[in-house]
Structure 1
């Protein structure tokens, strides 16, 4: 079987939210699985010197016009979240804990977390909200809540973020196709062609 597509994303990334609705259809066209890898962009920003788009003059205003436009184009529900951006460490840890047990549940949870923030306006940076979302998709929120306090899971999450940075991940969404990096949701058509042609 071909290698999965690695999908790196930050739950506070609106472009990651759009990509989360589109990556699996692309992968299925090429008989690929997708490995969902949530990250925290803060450590990468410290290295790259970047800042959230919302904190950048001109770019932030453009983003809040562009993202709703993309969502209308692809039929994705969207409501501008407040507060923005937020730290989403509990949700990130939750995905890795779930992934080790049932990857399909992990993906369902990740999609639900994104929807809670960018469609329903819920503050997924709050652990209670992240756990409530788990319960809403049929997961054991109590067991998950206990797991979030496990030092091993905290180390695992930190290690995943550090590994992503070592690979060169600096934004969200970020993809790897057979080791080839693609940054940004606007690279999905290029990835589609790359997979169809076997690269160039």
Structure 2
């Protein structure tokens, strides 16, 4: 079996949203599987001593234009959320818990949560919003709420973020395949070339 693609994403990342819509399809063309890993960009920014892109002078305005253009390029809907950026622990914990039980359903939830935020302008930093998104997919709301609030899933998510940082992950989306890191949705053509023919 070819090595899997590790896909790191934050639910507050607009570029992560775009990547989540296409990465599985790209991987399937080359017989690869994708392992999805939710992260918190805040932890990476803290480790780097950096600030979120929207707050960076000049670059922040460019990013808003670039994300919208990138979405049009990929044929995906996009609307800049009213509240941006936001903390995404609730969505990430929900994803982790679901992923342990049903990876396909977890990915449906992830894409639904991303669309809720970056298309429908729902504030997914709120636990009730996350639970409503999950309920629409047939996920038991009470069971998921209990899981999201548990110490076990909180510790698990912290450990996942720590592992990501140890692997050098500092952005979203971030891909690692065969030890090679690729940062950003704009690196997907390079990732695909790697998948097609190996190192270059």
TM-score band by shorter chain is over 0.9
- The answer for the alignment partner of 2:158 in structure 1 is 158
Tell me by how many angstroms 1:26 deviates: 1.1
TM superposition score normalised by structure 2: 0.98
1:45-96: CA deviation from partner (whole Å, max 9, x where unpaired): 1111121111011111001111111111111111110110000101000111
The CA RMSD over aligned residues, in Å, is 0.8
1:131-168 alpha-carbon deviations (Å, 9 max, x no partner): 11001122112110011111111100000000000000
Q: Which residue of 1 aligns with 2:29?
A: 29
State the partner residue of 1:90.
90
**For 2:134, what is the secondary structure of its paired residue?**
helix
Normalised by the size of structure 1, how large is the TM-score? 0.98
Distance 2:184 2:80 in 1: 20
Question: Residue 148 of structure 1 aligns to a residue in which SS?
Answer: helix
| Unmatched runs of 5 consecutive residues or more in structure 1 | none
Tell me which moved more, 18-27 or 81-90: 18-27
Structure 1 segments of 4 or more deviating over 3 A? none
Q: Describe the superposition over 1:30-59 as per-residue Cα deviations: whole angstroms up to 9, x where unpaired.
A: 111111111111111111112111101111
Question: How many angstroms apart in 2 are the aligned matches of 1:66 and 1:87?
Answer: 22
Q: Secondary structure at the match of 2:101?
A: coil
CA distance in 2, matches of 1:177, 1:33: 10
Where does 1:1-200 land on structure 2 (aligned, <5 Å)?
1-200=1-200
CA apart distance, 1:3: 2.2
Whole-Å Cα distance in 2 between the matches of residues 189 and 80 of structure 1? 25
